[in-house]
C-alpha cells in the first residue's frame, strides 16, 4: 500500500513550480514531516515534506515543471518500509546529494528498536552569533578533516539541514559541514560561511619525517575556485546559455509589469546624517546589550517612513480596478540581495513595532533570505518597500516599484560632502534618498512632502520618539 506525495497549494495565484532537488534519494526510508524535495516557485524555494513514513519512490525528475495537485512521488508503507528504515540505520552515511543535509535517518513511528550508541559530540555551534555580520572578517582556518571525511559526514542530532545552495557548494568542494563555522540562526550553515571557509588559507600540514620527505611528491598547487555563480566554460567555448531560474524569471516579469502598468516617477532629496550617526554611536552598545540586536539604519529609516506614511497614506495604498485601497497597517518590505536574486521579505505590521522589534525582524528575515528558507507568507503582502543600495556603494539610483505597491524608498551610500550651513561651508555625512511612486495615485506634492518628513526625522531623530 502506498501514499501519494502531491504538490501542495503553494500560495494564491501560484499554480506551478519546478522540482529543483530531491532531498531524499529514490528508495530511501523517510519519516513523517521529513523534507524530501525542494520546489522553486516564482517567489521562493519551498521544501515538501512527507506526510507518511515509508520508502520514497520518485515519480517526477529534477527539472520537471509540476502543478498543484500533481503526484511527484509515492511512499510505500508496510514491512518493506520498516526494513528499509532499519537498513538505513545500519548502512554507511549516504552521500551529501542523497542525504540532502538532513539529520541521521530516523525510524518510522511505532517501530521499537534498541537505541543506537551515542555519537561523538559535534562541534559546539551555540556560540556562533545569531545575525550575519555586516562586514565579515577572514574566517579562522578550520582543522583539516580526517582522510575519509567528505560532505557525507553525519550530522549530530539537532543540526539544521543545509539549504540547496549551501549543499551544492559543500558537495562540489568535498567539504565537511561540521568543520565550517556557522553563523546562521540556530547554528545554521549559510552560503557565506562556506565561501569564507574556501577563501581562508588552509591550515599548515605537519612536517613529514625525514624519510618521508624524499619519497612523497610535492603537492600540486590548488586551482583557484571560480566565482560563485559564474558558469564554467569548456575549452574553446565562447559563450554558454544558462536557463533563468523561476525566481529570476519572475523578477524580470514583475519589473517589466511595473514599468508597463504604473506611471512611475522618482523624486530625490538629501539627508544630513550627522545626528543619526551620533545617535547610533551614543546608544549602539547599550541598545545591543538591552535588546540583543544591533541598532542599524534600517530600523531608523523604517520608523521615519512609517510615520511619514501616516501623513501620506496614498503611498501605503494600491489601485484595484477603479478603486484606491488604503491600508490600516504598514507591511514593510525590505529588499535583500541573495545568491538567487533580489527578494523582498515583509515585516508585518511594522507600524506596531518599536526600533528593536523592527531590527530583530529584519535580521531574522535577511538571514532566512540568504539561506533560501523564506516561506511564501514571508514574501507576500507588502504595502511599502525600502531598498538600501548604499550597502553596495550606490550613490544615487531610481528604484522600481514592487507591484501592486505605490511607493518604494531608496537609500544610498553615506558620503562626506561640503554643504552650506548658516552661510558657512562645512563637511557633513550626506545621503541621497529617492522615492519612486505611482503617479496615478500619488501627486508630486505628496511625494515631495513624504521625503521631506523622512529627512526631518532623520536629521533630528528625537522627533521620532515624540512622534512630531
State the Cα–Cα distance between residues 306 and 407, nearest whole angstrom: 12
Same domain? 67 vs 101: no
On whether both 189 and 308 belong to a single domain, the answer is no
- Does 213 fall in a domain? no
Cell of 425: 561651508
pLDDT value at residue 216: 44
Q: Which of 285, 354, 377, 443 is catalytic?
A: 443
Q: With a threshold of 0.75, does the pTM exceed it?
A: no
What is residue 208's DSSP assignment?
A: P
Assess whether 58 carries a catalytic annotation: no
**Domain of residue 33, CATH code:** 2.40.50.100
- Is residue 115 one of the residues assigned to a domain? no
DSSP state for residue 15 in the 8-state scheme? -
- 225 occurs within a structural domain: no
State the pLDDT at residue 422.
Answer: 92
Q: Do the beta carbons of residue 73 and residue 36 sit within 8 Å?
A: yes
Say yes or no: 87 and 137 in one domain. no
Instruction: Show which of 63, 91, 119 is a domain's final residue.
Output: 91
Closest Cα to residue 445, out of 325, 270, 267?
267
Asked, for residue 231, whether it belongs to a domain, the answer is: no
Active-site residue identified among 193, 438, 439, 460: 439
Residues 269 and 392 in one domain: yes
- Is residue 429 within 8 A of residue 458, CB to CB? The reply is no
Residue in the block written with cell 552650506: 420
Q: Which residues contact 344 (CB under 8 A, 6 or more apart)?
A: 333, 334, 335, 336, 379, 382, 385, 402
User: Is 439 known to be catalytic?
Assistant: yes
Whether residues 100 and 180 share a domain: the answer is yes
pLDDT of residue 11: 62
Q: In this structure, what CATH number is given to the domain that contains residue 455?
A: 3.30.559.10
Residue 348 counted as domain residue: yes
> What is the spatial distance between Cα 155 and Cα 173, in angstroms, rounded to a whole number?
18
Same domain, yes or no: 38 and 138: no
Last residue of a domain, one of 140, 170, 203: 203
> Does any domain span residue 377?
yes
Q: Are 132 and 77 in a shared domain?
A: no
Domain that holds residue 402: 250-466
Torsion of CA 88, 93, 97, 99, to 10 degrees: 50
Q: Are residues 76 and 138 in the same domain?
A: no
Question: Is 103 found in the same domain as 32?
Answer: no
pLDDT for the residue 98: 39
Counting the structural domains of the chain, the total is 3
Return d(Cα 53, Cα 78) in angstroms, integer.
Answer: 9
pLDDT at 165: 63
**Quick one: 361 and 448 in the same domain?**
yes
Report how far residue 323's alpha carbon sits from residue 328's, in angstroms, rounded to the nearest whole number: 16
- In this prediction, residue 85 carries a pLDDT of 45
Burial class (CB in 10 A: 0-12, 13-18, 19+), 68: middle
Average pLDDT for runs of 10 along the chain of length 468: 83 75 90 86 77 90 88 77 44 39 40 43 38 38 37 39 67 74 70 69 48 45 48 82 77 82 94 95 93 91 95 95 94 86 89 94 90 83 94 91 93 95 95 96 96 96 80
Q: What pLDDT shows up at residue 219?
A: 46
What Cα–Cα distance (Å) separates residue 332 from each residue in 172, 210, 380, 383? 37, 65, 11, 6
pLDDT score of 337: 81
Do 143 and 69 reside in the same domain of the chain?
Answer: no
Of 38, 64, 91, the position where a domain reaches its end is: 91
Asked whether residue 450 is domain-assigned, the answer is yes
- Is 209 among the domain residues? no
Q: Are residues 321 and 397 in the same domain?
A: yes
Amino acid at each position: 500500500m502506498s501514499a501519494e506525495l502531491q504538490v501542495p497549494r503553494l500560495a494564491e495565484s501560484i499554480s506551478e513550480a519546478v522540482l529543483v532537488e530531491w532531498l531524499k534519494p529514490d528508495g530511501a526510508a523517510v519519516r513523517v514531516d521529513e523534507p524530501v524535495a525542494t520546489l522553486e516557485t516564482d517567489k521562493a524555494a519551498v521544501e515538501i515534506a512527507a506526510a507518511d513514513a515509508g520508502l520514497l519512490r520518485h515519480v517526477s525528475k529534477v527539472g520537471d515543471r509540476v502543478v498543484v495537485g500533481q503526484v511527484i512521488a509515492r511512499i510505500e508503507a508496510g514491512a518493506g518500509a520498516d526494513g528499509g528504515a532499519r537498513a538505513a540505520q545500519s548502512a554507511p552515511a549516504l552521500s551529501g546529494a542523497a542525504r540532502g543535509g538532513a539529520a541521521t535517518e530516523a525510524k518510522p513511528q511505532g517501530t521499537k528498536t534498541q537505541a543506537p550508541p551515542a555519537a561523538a559530540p559535534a562541534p559546539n555551534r551555540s556560540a556562533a552569533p545569531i545575525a550575519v555580520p555586516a562586514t565579515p572578517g577572514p574566517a579562522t582556518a578550520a582543522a583539516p578533516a580526517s582522510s575519509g571525511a567528505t560532505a557525507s559526514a553525519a550530522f549530530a542530532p539537532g543540526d539544521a539541514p543545509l539549504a540547496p545552495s549551501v549543499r551544492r557548494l559543500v558537495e562540489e568542494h568535498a567539504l565537511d559541514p561540521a568543520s565550517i563555522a556557522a553563523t546562521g540562526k540556530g547554528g545554521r550553515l549559510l552560503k557565506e560561511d562556506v565561501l569564507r571557509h574556501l577563501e581562508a588559507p588552509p591550515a599548515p600540514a605537519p612536517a613529514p619525517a625525514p624519510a618521508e620527505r624524499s619519497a612523497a611528491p610535492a603537492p600540486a598547487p590548488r586551482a583557484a575556485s571560480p566565482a560563485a555563480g559564474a558558469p564554467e566554460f569548456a575549452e574553446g567555448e565562447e559563450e554558454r546559455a544558462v536557463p533563468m531560474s523561476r525566481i529570476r524569471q519572475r523578477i524580470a516579469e514583475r519589473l517589466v509589469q511595473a514599468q508597463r502598468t504604473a506611471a512611475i516617477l522618482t523624486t530625490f532629496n538629501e539627508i544630513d546624517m550627522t545626528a543619526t550617526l551620533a545617535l547610533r554611536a551614543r546608544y549602539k552598545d547599550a541598545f545591543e546589550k538591552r535588546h540583543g540586536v544591533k541598532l542599524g539604519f534600517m530600523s531608523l529609516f523604517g520608523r521615519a517612513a512609517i510615520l511619514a506614511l501616516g501623513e501620506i497614506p496614498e503611498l501605503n495604498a494600491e489601485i484595484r480596478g477603479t478603486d484606491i485601497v488604503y491600508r490600516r497597517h504598514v507591511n514593510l518590505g525590505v529588499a535583500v540581495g541573495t545568491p538567487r536574486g533580489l527578494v523582498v521579505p515583509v515585516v508585518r505590521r511594522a507600524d506596531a513595532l518599536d526600533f528593536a522589534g523592527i531590527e530583530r525582524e529584519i535580521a531574522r528575515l535577511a538571514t532566512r533570505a540568504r539561506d533560501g528558507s523564506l516561506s511564501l507568507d514571508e514574501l507576500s503582502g507588502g504595502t511599502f518597500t525600502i531598498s538600501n543600495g548604499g550597502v553596495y556603494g550606490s550613490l544615487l539610483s531610481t528604484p522600481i516599484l514592487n507591484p501592486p505597491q505605490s511607493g518604494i524608498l531608496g537609500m544610498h551610500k553615506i558620503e562626506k560632502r561640503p554643504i552650506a550651513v548658516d552661510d558657512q561651508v562645512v563637511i557633513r555625512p550626506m545621503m541621497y534618498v529617492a522615492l519612486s511612486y505611482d503617479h496615478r495615485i500619488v501627486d508630486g506634492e505628496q511625494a515631495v512632502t513624504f521625503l521631506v518628513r523622512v529627512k526631518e526625522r532623520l536629521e533630528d531623530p528625537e522627533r521620532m520618539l515624540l512622534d512630531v
